[in-house]
Chains A and B, each alone.
Chain A
Amino acid sequence: NAGVTQTPKFRILKIGQSMTLQCTQDMNHNYMYWYRQDPGMGLKLIYYSVGAGITDKGEVPNGYNVSRSTTEDFPLRLELAAPSQTSVYFCASSLAPALGETQYFGPGTRLLVL
């Protein structure tokens, strides 16, 4: 079972460059999330989606954009990379949070902006 997959695993960007972090899940989960984890910190929510075509901002959305055209995919876009976006990014999905279902996390993408 693949679960939640993320690509790339690691990327170095120059300031001002753009990139898309890919996230795919094969569990038919409606809910998907993007988090960032800064050193020594817990995860902070960037964006989330409750289904195809529906997205909403989390705690730290500035500098990012998302789209959800299919149930499986939830890409995160960085338009103008800044050093403050150096972090580890996690994608997650869940089936039924109303029932206390946990979120399943991908392996993470480590991003370094120089």
Chain B
Amino acid sequence: AQTVTQSQPEMSVQEAETVTLSCTYDTSENNYYLFWYKQPPSRQMILVIRQEAYKQQNATENRFSVNFQKAAKSFSLKISDSQLGDTAMYFCAFMKRRHPGGSNYKLTFGKGTLLTVNP
């Protein structure tokens, strides 16, 4: 079974500073996708960034970037120049084919990291 582990239940950072959220996953697959979702107090799930496992280049979206280490099965999220609006629960998620050769995909979530940005 695929598992996604976020080892930091809570983190805090000062506004304008940089913070890194950790995520590790367990799989025997070679082709898969990884995502970071943000869930603010409104509870809306918002995609932050995605990474294809076959790409060596780390994904970047404005102030958000990832450090994808495929061999180590690690997928950390770096938030630069943290803003108060970044305060949210952050979920790491892993997506792969439900069955070999099939067209259905399964998305598995970690338990989340609560990030608080302090003024």
A residues in contact (CB < 8 Å) with B: 33, 40-45, 48, 50, 56, 88, 90, 92, 97-98, 100, 102-105, 107-108, 110
- Report how far A41 CA is from B112 CA in the complex, Å: 7
The CA-CA distance from A22 to B94 in the complex, in Å, is: 26
Instruction: Known A42-B112, A100-B52; judge A108-B103 contact (CB<8 A).
Output: no
Give the tally of cross-chain contacts (CB within 8 A).
Answer: 48
**Interface size range on B against A:** 20 to 34
Contacts of B47 in A (CB 8 A): 102, 104
Contact A45 B42 (CB under 8 A): no
Question: CB within 8 A of B43: which of A44, A48, A107?
Answer: A107
Distance in Å: Cβ of A69 to nearest Cβ of chain B:
20
Smallest CB–CB gap between A95 and chain B, Å?
12
Tell me which of A33, A43, A110 contacts B91 (CB under 8 A): A43
CB of B117 to closest CB in A, whole Å: 20
Residues of A near B91 (CB, < 8 A) are 42-43
> In chain A, what residue has the closest Cβ to B4?
A42
Known pairs A45-B107, A98-B103, A110-B43 / 9 extra A-B pairs, C-beta < 8 Å: A33-B107, A40-B111, A41-B111, A45-B106, A48-B104, A97-B105, A102-B35, A102-B47, A107-B42
Question: Could you say which of B35, B43, B93 has the most chain A C-beta atoms within 10 Å of its C-beta?
Answer: B43
